[in-house]
């Protein structure tokens, strides 16, 4: 063991977190345990920085919008939970809007999202956003071709208006493979506490993989603008995706003059 692992890795393995992980998790190993404990420590550092970021947003009356998009089972919700876990809930909201009502369907498409935008000093995380109309809705025939075209002609200007109005707007896309999506769907269906997450839309996702890919590619091509680019995160490995997303939030909002140095010191 001494030749395979460094002194630091052995120290992590022998910590309380390491021993609990090694003895308490199924299908694990020493190497996996060390990797997971490293992730836990890195996550804690990032979460501490998120607290500083939130305080900066509040003290300076900033308004922050963070969009998490991606295929079903890509890990968007889990990443958001880790990002906001230790933040002041009075100064942030996590929004996952349900299917629009008849009244909302008759309104300007962006209206119900505008109603959720943060006030000064607050942050909002969208677990799926107005980009439903760019991918999920056309794939599943939840909107007409005309409604889709109108959205695509308006979205860049809408986001420019937000940025010009003083909002920080970050867009993240969690990218997973077809094989990983299937694996996660099977895990969700076999779990009595997660089964509720598996929806009719999820059920059709694998069969519509090519259609999702087409609309996703069009979305990137048309909405990856200089003032509001997409940040693509490889999400087959959940722990990587979570730390990467949080680090990119911290790296794109200047809450600390040394924020880039801080992130560089965290080893991913």
How does pLDDT run across 242-268, given as a tens digit for each residue?
A: 999 999 999 999 998 666 555 565 554
Does pLDDT of 19 surpass 70?
no
Q: What is the pLDDT of residue 32?
A: 72
How far apart CA 250 and CA 182 sit, in angstroms, is 31
**Mean per-residue pLDDT, 162-169:** 98
Closest CA to 250 of 85, 37, 45: 45
Q: What is the pLDDT of residue 268?
A: 45
Domains, the chain: 61-265 (3.40.50.300)
Closest CA to 74 of 244, 191, 220, 190: 244
Q: What is the pLDDT of residue 14?
A: 55
Instruction: Determine contact, residues 44/246, Cβ cutoff 8 Å.
Output: no
Closest CA to 241 of 121, 131, 83: 83
The band of 23, judged by pLDDT with boundaries at 50, 70 and 90, is very low
Instruction: Determine contact, residues 235/245, Cβ cutoff 8 Å.
Output: no
Q: What is the pLDDT of residue 260?
A: 59
The band of 35, judged by pLDDT with boundaries at 50, 70 and 90, is confident
**Mean per-residue pLDDT, 94-113:** 96
State the burial class of residue 248 (Cβ atoms within 10 Å of its Cβ: 0-12, 13-18, 19+): middle
Distances (CA, A) of 96 to 135, 147, 172, 216: 16, 21, 15, 20
Does pLDDT of 231 surpass 80?
yes
Q: What is the pLDDT of residue 190?
A: 94
Residues 6+ apart with CB under 8 A from 33: 13, 18, 21, 22, 25
Q: What is the pLDDT of residue 266?
A: 56
How does pLDDT run across 38-97, given as a tens digit for each residue?
A: 889 999 999 999 999 999 999 999 999 999 999 999 999 999 999 999 999 999 999 999
SS3 154: helix
How does pLDDT run across 119-148, given as a tens digit for each residue?
A: 999 999 999 999 999 999 999 999 999 999
């Amino acid at each position: 063991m001494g030749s395979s692992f460094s002194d630091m890795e052995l120290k992590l393995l022998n910590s309380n977190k390491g021993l609990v992980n090694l003895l308490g998790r199924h299908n694990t190993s020493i190497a996996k345990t060390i990797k997971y404990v490293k992730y836990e420590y890195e996550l804690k550092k990032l979460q501490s920085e998120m607290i500083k970021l939130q305080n900066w947003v509040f003290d300076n009356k900033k308004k922050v919008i963070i969009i998490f998009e991606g295929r079903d089972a890509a890990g968007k919700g889990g990443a958001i939970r880790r990002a906001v876990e230790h933040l002041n809930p009075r100064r942030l909201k996590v929004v996952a809007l349900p299917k629009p009502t008849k009244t909302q369907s008759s309104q300007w498409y962006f209206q119900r999202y505008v109603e959720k935008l943060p006030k000064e000093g607050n942050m909002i995380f969208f677990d799926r956003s107005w980009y439903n109309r760019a991918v999920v809705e056309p794939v599943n025939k939840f909107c007409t071709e005309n409604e889709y075209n109108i959205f695509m002609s308006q979205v860049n200007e809408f986001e420019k208006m937000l940025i010009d109005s003083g909002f920080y707007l970050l867009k993240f896309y969690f990218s997973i493979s077809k094989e990983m999506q299937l694996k996660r769907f099977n895990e969700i269906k076999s779990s009595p506490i997660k089964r509720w997450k598996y929806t009719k839309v999820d059920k059709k996702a694998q069969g519509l993989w090519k259609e999702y890919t087409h609309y996703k590619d069009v979305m990137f091509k048309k909405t990856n603008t200089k003032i509001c680019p997409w940040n693509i995160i490889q999400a087959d490995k959940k722990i990587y995706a979570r730390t990467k997303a949080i680090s990119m939030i911290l790296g794109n909002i200047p809450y600390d003059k040394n924020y880039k140095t801080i992130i560089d010191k965290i080893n991913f």
